[in-house]
Amino acid sequence: MTQTNILLESGTNELEIVEFYLDEPGYRGHYGVNVAKVVEIIRMQPATSMPQMRHPAVMGAFPHRDGKIVPLVDLARYLGKQSADETGDSKIIVTEFNGIVTGFMVSGVNRIHRLSWNDIEEPGAFLQNMSKSSITGVVRLEGKVVFILDMENVVADLDPALAIRFNKIPDEIYDSTTVYNILHADDSSNVRNLVKRLLEDSGQFLLIQTVSGEEAWQYLKSVKQQAAEGGTPIKDAVHAVITDIEMPRMDGLTLCRQIKEDPELKHIPVALFSSLVSRTLEHRGQSVGADAQFAKPDLQNLSTRVLELIRKAAG
Amino acid, res. 252: G
> Are 97 and 218 members of one domain?
no
The predicted structure's pLDDT at residue 1: 42
> Are 155 and 176 members of one domain?
no
The predicted structure's pLDDT at residue 253: 93
The predicted structure's pLDDT at residue 145: 94
> Are 146 and 174 members of one domain?
no
CATH number, domain with residue 154:
2.40.50.180
Separation of alpha carbons 298 and 259, rounded Å: 24
**What would the pLDDT profile of 2-44 be if each residue is shown by its tens digit?**
444 434 456 678 889 999 999 988 889 999 998 988 989 999 9
pTM of the model: 0.76
> Are 77 and 210 members of one domain?
no
**What would the pLDDT profile of 168-202 be if each residue is shown by its tens digit?**
555 555 666 789 999 999 988 878 888 898 888 88
> Are 58 and 189 members of one domain?
no
DSSP state string for 137-189: EEEEETTEEEEEE-HHHHHHHH-GGGS-B--PPPTTT--TT--EEEEEE-S-H
The segments of the chain whose pLDDT lies below 50 read 1-8
The predicted structure's pLDDT at residue 121: 87
Contacts of 48 (CB under 8 A, 6+ apart): 60, 61, 62
* Last residue within a domain, chosen from 161, 195, 229: 161
The predicted structure's pLDDT at residue 30: 95
The predicted structure's pLDDT at residue 26: 82
Residue 258 lies in a domain: yes
How crowded is the C-beta side of 7, counted as CA atoms within 13 Å? 9
> Are 144 and 274 members of one domain?
no
How many structural domains comprise the chain? 2
The answer to whether 192 and 184 are in contact (CB under 8 A) is: yes
Residue 6 lies in a domain: no
Range of the domain at 259: 164-313
> Are 21 and 68 members of one domain?
yes
